Amino acid sequence: MELAAVILAAGKGTRMKSELPKVLHKICGRPMVSYVLKAVKGAGIERIVMVVGHRGELVAEAFQAEAAIVYQEPQLGTAHALLQAKGALAGFGGHVLVLPGDTPLVTERTLLDILEAHRSAHAFATVLTACLEEPAGYGRVVRDSSGRVVKIVEQKDATADELAIKEVNTGIYCFSADGLFAYLDRIRPDNAQNEYYLTDLVEIYLQNNRPVAAYRAARPEEVLGINDRRQLAQAEALLRRRKTDELMLSGVTVIDPASTFVDQEVVVGRDSVIYPFTVIEGNSVIGKNCAIGPGAHLKDVRIGENVLVTNSVVVESVVEDYCSIGPFAYIRPGCRLKRKVKIGDFVELKKTVVGENSKVPHLSYLGDTTVGADVNIGAGTITCNYDGVRKWPTYIGDGAFIGSNTNLVAPVEVGAGAVIGAGSTITKNVPPGALGVARGRQRIVERWSARRKIREEGPD
Ligand code: UD1
Ligand code: CA
């Protein structure tokens, strides 16, 4: 059967108490509506319409490449929202899957289930329902004594008896396109919220002998609708758990899923271990056999194989195989650590390339720096890359040895194999193989303490 989908994403999301449209609030690093879109595409539907309204330009900007955007202005309810898709679906004669943009946990499996139920029931409308222990906030599915769906009643319009019903409307439906928009036009906003309710279509269809089916979701936890930020956190917890489950099933050890936060798009290789209190965000890719955490925070990183990262922050950087980072390192955007690099405690790097097998073991800042291979950077080395106006680069050649507590005043170059004496402030280039020392010479004053005593206390 020919399929299209309409995602309703125009609502303000009043209960979120936010400037941002509800469907753009993020869950595990991605806007909630992107999960709905992903499930729809996963179910094989290519023709997708998204109805946007409240700050719709923001939603449109984010998704115009993936869906046809139509505007609903003003937002008068879910039926009115669906009606806005009429033009975009003109001439379409198949079946239309309708989904709210605020139900991010729904999976393609469930969408395929409702499509199958709709097909086999030969219905004009099929409603995806779910039985919930706590149905509060959802529309209730009212059935007659023989179990047939009679209507859907919104929480705010329900009688005490109806409120006791545990079967709820998920807001996901499949409609035959035939006559859909004509019947939508008949809906009136005669209810507690003065809105055009899409749910009223059930009664209207039944009155007009258009069969309505209902399909109960096999996994009710998938239909959580996000209306406020408590539900946002619930969805986050469920999706986060889904992600750590997926990682574990693919061969990654997650020591404590409850304290591990991994964004949806993150990839982690086999036999890597993620220790507690770790956050991995964005489009990070981590290779095999790594040990990440405890306490690692990674964002948009590419990490090779056999890498160790403990108690450190790494952002928008590339880390090659066999590197070791931390504890307490801060790798800022634009860094590249080549194979077997060691970055130790209290080291900050920014826009810096560190060559193979080089070490920055402790207490250093390297910014706008290129370090060759087999270099040792002594404790307390600082690149003075900023003169108050602009940033300047530092180059350190292969095999150089930078003594502890060195200042490298950029722009400056230390040649391959050069040695810098500890405590130097280097302002001029040091040629390859040379020694650069720039510090006051040590002076010895013999018997200085005894002489001071005499000065201060007088002779015995
Ligand atoms: C809706 C259903 C309810 C169901 C619940 C499932 C109706 C009348 N009620 O209630 O039966 O149990 O979803 O989560 O449909 N939207 C628009 N334009 C509008 C209004 C809403 O595009 O004018 C969009 C919203 O952005 C949202 C979706 O439709 O993505 C649902 O709207 P919402 O206000 O959250 O409906 P609920 O009260 O949750
Ligand atoms: Ca909702």
Domains of the chain: 3-223 (3.90.550.10), 229-436 (2.160.10.10)
What is the arithmetic mean of pLDDT over 432-436?
98
pLDDT the model gives residue 429: 98
Whether pTM exceeds 0.85: yes
* DSSP conformation class of 122: T
Cβ atoms of 40 and 103 closer than 8 Å: no
What is the spatial distance between Cα 279 and Cα 313, in angstroms, rounded to a whole number? 9
Ligand 1 within 6 A of 102 CB? yes
Which amino acid is it at 147? G
Distance (Å, rounded) from C-alpha 152 to C-alpha 169? 7
Q: How confident is the model at residue 143 (pLDDT cuts 50, 70, 90)?
A: very high
Point out which residues pair with 370 in neighbouring strands. Answer: 353, 395
Question: Which ligand sits nearest to residue 232's alpha carbon?
Answer: 2
- Give the pLDDT band of residue 459 (cuts 50, 70, 90): confident
Mean pLDDT (the chain) is 97
Higher-pLDDT residue of 19 and 458 is 19
pLDDT 10s digits, 224-246: 999 999 999 999 999 999 999 99
In short, whether 129's Cβ falls inside 6 Å of ligand 1 is: no
- Separation of alpha carbons 448 and 373, rounded Å: 46
φ, ψ of residue 347 to 5 degrees: the values are -115, 130
Average pLDDT on 41-64 reads: 97
Q: Average pLDDT of 292-316?
A: 98
- Distance (Å) from CA 64 to ligand 2 centroid: 22
Q: Using the predicted structure, report yes or no on whether residue 350 has a pLDDT greater than 80.
A: yes
The residue type found at 281 is E
Nearest CA among 266, 237, 273 for reference residue 252: 273
The answer to whether residue 410 scores a pLDDT higher than 90 is yes
Q: How many CB atoms lie within 10 A of CB 416?
A: 16
Q: What is the pLDDT of residues 118-136, one digit of tens each?
A: 999 999 999 999 999 999 9
CA of 226 to the centre of ligand 2 (A): 6
User: What is the per-residue pLDDT for 200?
Assistant: 98
Q: Which residue has the tokens 């990262």?
A: 309
pLDDT tops 90 at residue 16:
yes
- Give per-residue pLDDT as tens, 149-191: 999 999 999 999 999 999 999 999 999 999 999 999 999 999 9
In whole angstroms, give the CA distance from residue 302 to residue 283. Answer: 9
Å from CA of 211 to ligand 1 middle: 23
- Take atom 16 of ligand 1 and give the residue whose Cα is closest: 11
Distance CA 19, CA 57 (A): 13
**DSSP codes joined into one string, 363-375:** EEEEESEEE-TT-
Query: Does the pLDDT at position 460 exceed 80?
Result: no
As annotated, the active-site residues are 362
Q: How buried is 79 (Cβ within 10 angstroms: 0-12 exposed, 13-18 middle, 19+ buried)?
A: buried
What are the beta bridge partners of residue 422?
Answer: none
pLDDT of 445 > 90? The answer is: yes
Does the beta carbon of 171 lie inside 6 Å of ligand 1?
Answer: yes
pLDDT at residue 215, as a whole number: 97
- Identify whether 135 is preceded by a cis peptide bond (ω within 30 of 0): no
Which residue's alpha carbon is at the smallest distance from atom 11 of ligand 1?
139
CA distance 451 to 39: 85
Does 104 sit in the ligand 1 pocket, CB within 6 Å? no
388-403 mean pLDDT: 98
Name the pLDDT band for 270 (thresholds 50, 70, 90): very high
- With the C-alpha atoms ordered 230, 231, 235, 241, is the resulting torsion angle positive or negative? positive
Q: What does the pLDDT average to over 435-439?
A: 97
Phi, psi of 333 (to 5 degrees): -55, 145
Helix spans in 64-150 (H): 78-83, 108-121
Q: Choose which residue among 32, 75, 78 to substitute to test ligand 1 binding: the one with the highest number of ligand atoms within 8 A of its C-beta.
A: 78
Q: How far is CA 73 from the centre of its chain?
A: 30
- Nearest-atom number in ligand 1 for the CA of 33 is 30
Evaluate: CB of 165 within 6 angstroms of ligand 1: no
Distance CA 135, CA 222 (A): 14
Between CA 109 and CA 264 the distance in angstroms is 18
Q: Is the CB of 226 under 6 A from ligand 1?
A: no
Q: Is residue 112 predicted with pLDDT exceeding 80?
A: yes
Residue nearest to atom 31 of ligand 1 (CA): 100
Q: How far is the CA of 225 from the centre of ligand 2 (A)?
A: 5
